[in-house]
Amino acid sequence: MKLGIHAYAWCSQWSNDTLDLIDKVKDLGMDFIEIPLMCLETFDAKAIKERLEQVGLATVTSTVLLNNTDITSEDPTVRAKGVAYLEDCVKATAAIGAPSFSGVIYSEHVRQTTNRPEEQLWQYSADALRPIARLAGDLGVQIGLEPVNRYETCLINTCEQAYRLKEMIGEENVKIHLDTYHMNIEEKSFYEATKLAGDDLIHYHLCENDRGIPGTGLVDWDGIFRALAEINYQGNAALESFVDCTDNMNTWVWRQLAPDGDTLLKEGVDFIRGKQKEYGVD
């Protein structure tokens, strides 16, 4: 298993001013950095790829859809804008040599609704993501569907629901991206959800139940690593925590979750590496 960290541990928006995080992650002995694509206006693919190659670090990308890029909107103009945004994200991912792009890419993040999602919502999402997946396939990129909790989406809260959308899309490069923070709310079992993802699991966010330092809260880390060992997981896993509120997505960081990003990384990595060794998840 390759271990990395999300850039949001230190910054609230990616730009050339944060390129030194690539060096920092490499110096800390991590395998990759997860780069957010929320603000493509400040995403310099050429500069990122050059720095990654210089320091010898891998990367993956992720994002969430907002109100004006919601591919499940009833407004066809908004759906089209969402498709165009996801196409740009896939191209940006390929441009920096990243093998996967994932996140809440199937519907608006924190969509305001009082009703359960109707079948049309699922169909809008599948129909929009199908050409995105095909474009990604042509560029050598895998797509990861990330289930998140009920307060952040009404569409995909569990691994099982992610599989449903994956089947509706019908493209081989559509995979699963799990996140322990959300699983803590929505799944009955960390172990069973991880086993269900199986060979389709390409990315894992390793977060404590409060998004603080892994190992300091309620997450069933033993169940997770037992499942990862049983499926012989060889994919990516990233520590994900947010250091502050941002103006490009909701993070809900109302208090300090760790003394700083460096402390979160050091203590979190020590804990995760320990679990890897304990369960033989190399």
CATH of domain 2-279: 3.20.20.150
Q: Which residues are CB-contacts of 188 (< 8 A; sequence separation ≥ 6)?
A: none
* C-beta of residue 54 within 8 angstroms of C-beta of residue 79: no
- pLDDT score at 159: 98
* C-beta of residue 63 within 8 angstroms of C-beta of residue 73: no
| Catalytic machinery residues | 146, 240
* C-beta of residue 85 within 8 angstroms of C-beta of residue 69: yes
Strand 2-6 and strand 100-108: pairing? unpaired
* C-beta of residue 209 within 8 angstroms of C-beta of residue 219: yes
Beta strands in 235-276 (DSSP E): 236-239
- pLDDT score at 252: 65
Question: What's the pTM value of the predicted model, to 2 decimals?
Answer: 0.94
Q: CA–CA separation, 34 vs 260, rounded Å?
A: 18
- pLDDT score at 156: 98
- pLDDT score at 251: 62
The encoded tokens of residue 249 equal 């997505």
- pLDDT score at 250: 56
Q: For residue range 115-148, list pLDDT tens digits in order.
A: 999 999 999 999 999 999 999 999 999 999 999 9
Distance separating the N- and C-terminal Cα atoms of the chain: 5
Amino acid present at 87: E
Q: Which residues of 110-148 are buried (b: 16+ CB within 10 A; e: fewer)?
A: bbeeeeebeeebbebbbebbeebbebbbeeebbbbbbbb
Residues in the chain: 282
Q: How crowded is residue 267: how many other Cβ atoms within 10 Å of its Cβ?
A: 17
- pLDDT score at 247: 56
Give residue limits of the domains in the chain: 2-279
- pLDDT score at 233: 98
Q: For residue range 68-77, list pLDDT tens digits in order.
A: 999 999 999 9
Tens place of pLDDT per residue across the chain (282 aa): 999 999 988 887 899 999 999 999 999 999 999 999 999 999 999 999 999 999 999 999 999 999 999 999 999 999 999 999 999 999 999 999 999 999 999 999 998 888 999 999 999 999 999 999 999 999 999 999 999 999 999 999 999 999 999 999 999 999 999 999 999 999 999 999 999 999 999 999 999 999 888 999 999 999 999 999 999 999 999 998 655 555 545 566 777 777 877 788 889 999 999 999 999 998
Q: CA–CA separation, 109 vs 99, rounded Å?
A: 23
Q: Which residues are CB-contacts of 76 (< 8 A; sequence separation ≥ 6)?
A: none
